[in-house]
Amino acid sequence: MMLHGGQYHVYYSRSKTTHIIATNLPNAKIKELKGEKVIRPEWIVESIKAGRLLSCIPYQLYSKPSNMQKGLNFNPACKAEESVPGPSSVAKQLNNRVNHIIKKVETENEVKVNGVNSWNEEDANNFSFTELEQIFPGRKQNGIPHHRDSAAIFNGHTPSSNGALKTQDCLVPLGHSVASRLSPDFTQEEEQAEKSRTDFRDCVVQQSPQSTRNTDAMRNPHRTNSFSLSSLHSNTKINGAHYSAVQGPSSTKSTSSVPTLSKAAPSVPSKPSDCNFISDFYSRSRLHHISMWKCELTEFVNTLQRQSSGIFPGREKLKKMKTGRSALVVTDTGNMSVLSSPRHQSCIMHVDMDCFFVSVGIRNRPDLKGKPVAVTSNRGTGRAPLRPGANPQLEWQYYQNKVLKGRAAEIPDASLWENQDSAQANGIDSVLSKAEIASCSYEARQVGIRNGMFFGQAKQLCPSLQAVPYDFHAYKEVARTMYETLASYTHSIEAVSCDEALVDITEILAETRLTPDEFANAVRMEIKDQTKCAASVGIGSNILLARMATRKAKPDGQYHLKPEEVDDFIRGQLVSNLPGVGRSMESKLTALGIKTCGDLQYMTMAKLQKEFGPKTGQMLYRFCRGLDDRPVRTEKERKSISAEINYGIRFTQPKEAEAFLLNLSEEIQRRLEAAGVKGKRLTLKVMVRKPGAPVETAKFGGHGICDNVARTVTLDQATDSAKIIGKAALNMFHTMKLNISDMRGVGIQVNQLVPTNPNPSACPSRPSVPSGHFPGGSHSVLDLFQVQKAKKSTEEEHEEVFLAAMDLEISPASRNCTFLPPFSTHLTSSVNPVTSKAESSGKWNGLHSPISLKSRLNLSIEVPSPSQLDQSVLEALPPDLREQVEQACAVQQGELHGDKKKEPVNGCNTGILPQPVGTVLLQIPEPQESNSDTGINVIALPAFSQVDPEVFAALPAELQKELKAAYDQRQRQGENAAHQQPAAAAVPKNLFRQLKPASVKEKKRNKKKNPISPPKKIQSPLKNKLLNSPVKTLPGACGSPQKLIDGFLKHESPASEKPLGELSASTSGVPGLSGSQPEPAGCGRPPAPNLAGAVEFSDVKTLLKEWITTISDPMEEDILQVVKYCTDLIEEKDLEKLDLVIKYMKRLMQQSVESVWNMAFDFILDNVQVVLQQTYGSTLKVT
């Protein structure tokens, strides 16, 4: 052993000893050595025999002798059975494993976790191996709920990764893995079962991070659960396992007893409605981790800088090394001065770990070195069963189109693919795994595997590809070590990402008189030493060149791009190597015939700027010449903070989505707090299944083909409160009016960040206002205004605060009749700058979201919501003013929501789907307000649960009463809405009771609906059909006026297909012109009000006519649908069309022989009038 480089320690040392060799150990020792590698002696012997270091995993000794015995005994048994596929052997393994777990659980004496408890009970019968097959079904049934239990419990534990909870954490996964043994994977192929069992044992016993790596055949996703034992943040992996559990249940689903379980398994983890979903999601999202690490590391560097003493141990060491060397080699000095000449100009070093995830993953797995390895969440063969409804080819085709054509591709014809599917389905019922490869080793890259590739695909390319699971903890550790190493030399470090850093080494080189290469070598050695991972280093005179040099240096090398080489070097580089040149830009450049930077150099700046925009053009122009003047930025300002989740989003109820949004807001709050900033602008992004895309995505839980919908709103004050963010997000969400089940991703982004510490300058100016200006209890605007004027002089610099205050004062003012325009003249002057500011920011936002612009303009001059008010400012105010502020604030809060929600109603909505959630128009007359004859327009109050009871209590009594009334009314309407129809159907409902459901007719009607609806809905919002459609309709709609006039006057042409509007227009002797009536559908918004898909008036008419003439007793549901349509029209402010529809129906229905139709019309009209009365304060004149 010594001969082969091993060491023998007589006394055990926790820090030095890496492996413990033993054949048997007493229980006390085992407990003591928990977490250490205890290996059987065969490992050494066989390693020597093999001539290399073998993985110690198969030679692991168990810490529990009894377990070990059994485990060892089963080893051969399983091997023997390997060739005998069938449940029996699986059962044995299962048992075996279960035994381990029980033992483990028992010995730990930690059985307080429910889930585990239940497992104990169950496992009692697991010892009877022979009965296993019979036991299976029963256990399975038990297994599902318990499985869930344990998952749930586990979720509860996710945040706790500290030692105190470790035992529990360990226990739960144990139970979990027991559960998992029962679920689909016990049908897996035998050899994998064997392997996995080994792994499983390893993990259970070892609890050391080393055990996390695993051999290829990790088909069984639940095994990761056991891995989690070993790592502190086990949640990551547990969750990962959930995914793969669903993703890759074994393809051999022959055993009949499985289906229930395999069905149950997917439902366990990824329920977005679960309150822990978000934290779960983030704990297992590698992208999230990567970005978090980057922030952390940047922060780390910043902290180092702040605490910097100016002494860098690494640098000192280097200096010593250097002096030692130069003392030895005196003659070198001449050479040295030449070499060190570049140190006068800046010198940037780019350090990049080589395939970071992989090298970290295999750093303790010598047996995997030099093999193709990929880090991914998937294990096994990379195949998963095709879930019904999923259409991977379709999606693939879609993405291909998108990439190739560089535009939003049409969804390919699904039927085309269905044929192929069915052809395929005969043979294989599985598809390639869609787990992404996060990182792959250079060996894997050689065979064409790339990062981001789907694992299944990669596995086809390279069958020997080994999968290594994520180990976020280790990544973080290694990244930290790397940064610490770098920081020992200098603090001028820019954290590019967790495995990548830019270092300005100009100073170091000058100080240590080292050449860049020497320094790079020293750094690399040290990093390798510390982290056991290889790092590549590129050195250049600027960031760009350093990065490019690193490309050349990889793998595990270094490259110093000397100034004289730059020109040649850069000319040979592919443009795609330039930072900032992505796929789309590359294809653009290729179209221009540009491949290398040399080609690019022939382009003029003007040309480039024309092609790519001023900034990008300039960047390209400079980059292709190797010019880059970006400094190494050690401190980066965050521009936005966001939380987005587009995995596993499948809501079934609006409630879930809302709860999810609130949770997401909390996540945002955490992040904002962590970053120490507040944000002003909120963007809600939602991914919605593209119409026509398959409901089931190719990747389980993935988002599939989606449309992105976004809404932005600017709050009047920067905030980091989850409550405010959540409210705003919910409001935006409601304006989208999405189909909940089609949501595939949700994200909230906060922009316009400002540091959290409140602006102190706002406070002093407040008390400076003499309180004498506030006549006690006066609500007069005049008084207020005088005060305002006085304040103005002192407060100009605190525009925003001032403005807020002004708003506060105006709100009460608006309740007074004394408000006169002349005052506004003064007010305006100070408002203007802000308004214009708001506007400019609106411009910045672009056309993208008109609503956001609007709301910004409003909100920016609104009273901040109470929670946003600076309490100190408030307290500094004189009492009476404070009272007013509070009051106004309370009022304002109500208004704020009404205001925001009103937008869609206002006709600005772009997101009304045919199934709106049921926002109902409400209007409460408010008699005491002098200025509102039509009353307060409480279009959409905030949900009652959102109303702050304190604020509510602070409201004036009348307001309270009104709000209550409004909520009552809303509740009533809400109930109706819950039954799909908003209208106040309560009174006339009995009218329809007698109507028997004519299901056949209903079907017929539905049939009619269907062909009309889909094409209308899919209209792209950007396509502007407005111009064309009415022009086209113009000539046709003219008709023959005389005939129509006759028809109109006589009122006896019920079958007339001409719209009434034309008739009335014609009667007045102006034929044809009304034909240019604009159709709301024409404006191109998908959710135009429609009647069963019919948007154009002629379609609506046809539909109505068919309905009325063919059916003798109308369905209540259909009537309500018509009412709904009319209500939508009112909301859409398309009264003209409403009028036409009503008149048309009146004509048809009142002439119908069935009296039912007359009643139906009355009912519809009543409802419409009610809504109209609420919206416009008047009712439709029906002639």
Annotated binding site for Mg(2+): 352, 499-500
What string of H, E and C letters represents the secondary structure of 229-258? HHCCCHHHHHHHHHHHHHHCCCCCCCCCCC
Residue 110 token pair = 């930690």
Selected binder of another protein within 267, 335, 584, 930 (CB under 8 A): 930
928 is a site residue for another protein (CB under 8 A): no
Q: How near is the Cβ of 851 to another protein at its closest, in Å?
A: 8
Q: Of the two residues 58 and 1080, which places its CB atom closer to another protein in the complex?
A: 1080
From CA 687, how far away is CA 742, in angstroms rounded?
A: 8
Which residue's structure tokens are 């009434």? Answer: 1060
Nearer to another protein by Cβ, of 647 and 823: the residue is 823
Smallest gap from Cβ 657 to another protein, in A, equals: 23
Contact 221, 185 (CB under 8 A): yes
Instruction: Pick the piece of the chain touching another protein (CB under 8 A) from 17-25, 410-418, 420-428, 892-900.
Output: 892-900
1036 lies in the binding site for another protein (CB under 8 A): no
Dist. CA 891–CA 885, nearest whole Å: 10
- Give the residues across from 753 on adjacent strands: 679
**Binding-residue pattern over the window 1107 to 1136 for another protein, x denoting contact by CB under 8 A:** --------------------------xxxx
- Which tokens in the block code for residue 781? 């605007």
Of 851 and 917, nearer to another protein (C-beta) is 851
Cβ closest to another protein, residue 692 vs residue 1021 = 1021
Applying CB under 8 A, the span of 408-416, 634-642, 850-858, 1157-1165 interacting with another protein comes to 850-858
Does the protein bind another protein through residue 843 (CB under 8 A)? yes
Interface residue with another protein among 255, 601, 814, 867 (CB under 8 A) is 814
Q: Give the range of 534-542, 618-626, 856-864, 972-980 binding another protein by CB under 8 A.
A: 856-864
Of residues 1069-1088, those binding another protein (CB under 8 A): 1069-1070, 1073-1074, 1076-1080, 1082-1085
Of 360, 223, 225, which is closest to residue 289 (Cα–Cα)?
Answer: 360
Q: Which residue has the tokens 């709000």?
A: 963
Q: Which is nearer to another protein, 414 or 1038 (CB)?
A: 1038
Angle between helices 1060-1067 and 1041-1050 (to 10 degrees): 100
Shortest Cβ distance from residue 932 to another protein (Å)? 5
Strand residues in 692-767 grouped as ranges (E): 706-719, 743-755
Q: Does 493 participate in binding another protein (rule CB under 8 A)?
A: no
Q: Contact between 934 and another protein (CB under 8 A)? A: yes
Q: Which is nearer to another protein, 601 or 934 (CB)?
A: 934
Burial of 125: CB neighbours in 10 Å, binned 0-12, 13-18, 19+: middle
Write the CA distances from 823 to 206, 806, 814, 818, integer angstroms. 79, 12, 12, 10
d(CA 1058, CA 1055): 9
Which one, 1136 or 1162, has the nearer CB to another protein? 1136
Identify which of residues 987 and 1049 has a Cβ nearer to another protein in the complex: 1049
Handedness of CA 516, 519, 521, 526 (dihedral sign): negative
Residue 814's CB is within 10 A of a number of other CB atoms, namely 16
| Least distance in angstroms from the C-beta of 670 to another protein | 30
Stretch of 367-375, 579-587, 806-814, 953-961 contacting another protein, by CB under 8 A = 806-814
Pick from 1030, 1045, 1054, 1113 the residue near another protein by CB under 8 A. 1030
Residues 1143 to 1182 in contact with another protein, rule: CB under 8 A: 1172, 1176-1181
The three-state secondary structure class of 122 is helix
* Nearer to another protein (CB atom), residue 690 or residue 856: 856
The residue within the footprint of another protein, chosen from 819, 967, 992, 1163 (CB under 8 A), is 819
One of 822, 949, 1015, 1036 touching another protein (CB under 8 A): 822
> The tokens of 747 are what?
């994200």
Distance, in Å, from the CA atom of 715 to the CA atom of 1102, rounded to the nearest integer, reads 46
Q: Which is nearer to another protein, 908 or 991 (CB)?
A: 908
- Smallest distance from another protein to CB 825, Å: 4
DSSP assignments along 542-600, one per residue = SHHHHHHHHHHH-SS-EEE--GGGHHHHHHHSBGGGSTT--HHHHHHHHHTT--BHHHH
Task: Among 25, 1065, 1111, 1123, indicate the residue that binds another protein (CB under 8 A).
Answer: 1065
Binds another protein by CB under 8 A, chosen from 185, 189, 666, 895: 895
Rounded CA Rg of the chain: 36
Segments in 248-370 forming alpha helices (H): 259-267, 277-284, 286-307, 313-328, 332-339, 356-361
Q: Binding residue for another protein (CB under 8 A) from 835, 960, 1098, 1158?
A: 835
Question: According to CB under 8 A, which one of 6, 209, 850, 925 is a site residue for another protein?
Answer: 850
With H, G, I as helix, E, B as strand and everything else as coil, classify residue 11.
coil
CA distance 61 to 723: 53
Nearest distance in Å: CB 1063, another protein: 11
| Piece of the chain touching another protein by CB under 8 A; list 196-204, 501-509, 894-902, 997-1005 | 894-902
Q: How far apart are CA 1069 and CA 814, in angstroms?
A: 47
- Which member of 820, 978, 987, 1049 binds another protein (CB under 8 A)? 820
In the complex, the smallest distance separating the C-beta of residue 1105 from another protein, rounded to whole angstroms, is: 21
Give the residue with the Cβ less far from another protein, 502 or 810: 810
Q: Which segment (421-429, 689-697, 845-853, 1151-1159) binds another protein by CB under 8 A?
A: 845-853
| CB < 8 Å & 24+ apart, contacts of 1060-1063 | 1060/1139, 1060/1140, 1060/1143, 1060/1144, 1060/1147, 1061/1136, 1061/1139, 1061/1140, 1062/1037, 1062/1038
List C-alpha distances in Å: 724 to 395, 680, 729, 731, 1140. Answer: 38, 11, 8, 11, 43
In the list 233, 711, 900, 970, the residue contacting another protein (rule: CB under 8 A) is 900
- Figure out which of the listed residues 171, 502, 581, 939 binds another protein, where binding follows CB under 8 A: 939
Write down the residue that tokens 């894997």 correspond to: 444
